[in-house]
């Protein structure tokens, strides 16, 4: 991570016109602070008469010192997979609903970014997953996920049947509606809805959470973050693997999915005083009395 931040990208939620005003506001503010500002090309389409350089996400990943994402957690998930391989830190401004990853609000955006430009911030590393789909010994798809890798069936197909191995050792055969392989970040997403544990994001672990397993003895399991997870498909039929709800790959009989921790983390920047437990209390309404 490079500091001080000399070139900052502003990335808005795609296909959303109401990000134009906060992007312009933030862009003007950063320019007044002497920072070089770029905006992502898709968001730039909504900004009339802006004076900033527009770039693709791939160009941004290679060119900037910091990225500010205005949107919800879903927007940040998508951006993180592109920026993480280049070590670009990310700040999230919440314009969505829940916002576990996006700390700043529209009201605190300028003050928060001002502090960060002055070096007052907390840096956090979050692990990414890398998953390869193997067919007949060849890789047919590879991609990254920030929250989870999910193998699941469609609404009309029968249960998924698969074998799971951890570091080459057989764990179990399973019949279920699916399986979630979650990062600590993703533990407050789909994995939590499926009965998984909430994991502190600093933990170097992965979580396997069955979705509606046929046997009630099949429970979530947490394994070390360096584990190599293998899923071998024993029964398919309208089954796919999903990467963070953004990419789907259809699976066939005997396909193997290999999931590992990606070699580089996501760098998230938080305001000073940030507390993960405060975020949990606020987002999960634990601070409300009964």
What's 18's domain CATH number?
3.40.50.10330
Distance CA 257, CA 160 (A): 14
Q: Are residues 97 and 138 in the same domain?
A: no
73 as an active site residue: the answer is: yes
Distance CA 144, CA 154 (A): 22
Q: Are residues 81 and 121 in the same domain?
A: yes
Write out the chain's pLDDT in tens, 290 residues: 889 999 999 999 877 778 889 999 999 999 999 999 999 988 888 777 778 999 999 999 999 999 999 998 888 999 999 999 999 999 999 986 777 888 899 999 999 999 999 999 999 999 999 999 999 999 999 999 999 999 998 766 678 899 999 999 999 999 999 999 999 999 999 999 999 999 999 999 999 999 999 888 889 999 999 999 999 999 777 899 999 988 899 999 999 999 999 999 999 999 999 999 999 998 888 877 65
At 188, is the secondary structure helix, strand, or coil? helix
Q: Are residues 119 and 146 in the same domain?
A: no
Catalytic residue among 40, 65, 73, 244: 73
| 102: in domain | yes
Q: Are residues 80 and 165 in the same domain?
A: no
Give pLDDT, residue 157: 65
Whole-model pTM: value is 0.92
Q: Are residues 59 and 144 in the same domain?
A: no
| 72: in domain | yes
């Amino acid at each position: 991570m490079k500091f001080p931040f000399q070139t900052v990208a502003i990335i808005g939620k795609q296909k959303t016109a109401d990000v134009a005003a906060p992007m312009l506001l933030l862009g003007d503010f950063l320019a007044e602070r002497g920072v070089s500002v770029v905006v992502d090309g898709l968001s730039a389409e909504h900004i009339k008469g802006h004076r900033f350089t527009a770039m693709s996400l791939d160009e941004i990943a290679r060119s900037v010192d910091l990225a500010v994402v205005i949107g919800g957690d879903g927007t940040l998930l998508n951006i993180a997979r592109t920026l993480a391989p280049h070590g670009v830190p990310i700040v999230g401004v919440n314009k969505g609903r829940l916002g576990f990853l996006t700390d700043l609000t529209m009201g605190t955006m300028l003050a928060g970014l001002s502090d960060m430009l002055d070096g007052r911030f907390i840096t956090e590393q979050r692990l990414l997953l890398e998953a390869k789909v193997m067919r007949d010994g060849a890789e047919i798809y590879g991609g990254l996920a920030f929250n989870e890798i999910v193998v699941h069936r469609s609404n009309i197909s029968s249960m998924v049947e698969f074998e799971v191995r951890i570091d080459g050792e057989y764990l179990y055969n399973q019949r279920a509606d699916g399986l979630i392989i979650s990062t600590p970040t993703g533990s407050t997403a789909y994995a939590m809805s499926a009965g998984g544990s909430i994991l502190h994001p600093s933990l170097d672990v992965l979580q396997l959470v069955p979705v509606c397993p046929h046997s009630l003895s099949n429970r979530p399991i947490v394994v070390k973050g360096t584990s190599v997870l293998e899923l071998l498909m024993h029964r398919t039929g309208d089954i796919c693997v999903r990467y963070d709800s953004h990419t789907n790959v259809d699976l066939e009989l005997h396909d193997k999915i290999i999931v590992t921790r990606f070699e580089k983390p996501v760098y998230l920047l938080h305001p000073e005083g940030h507390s993960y437990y405060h975020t949990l209390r606020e987002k999960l309404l634990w601070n409300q009395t009964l």
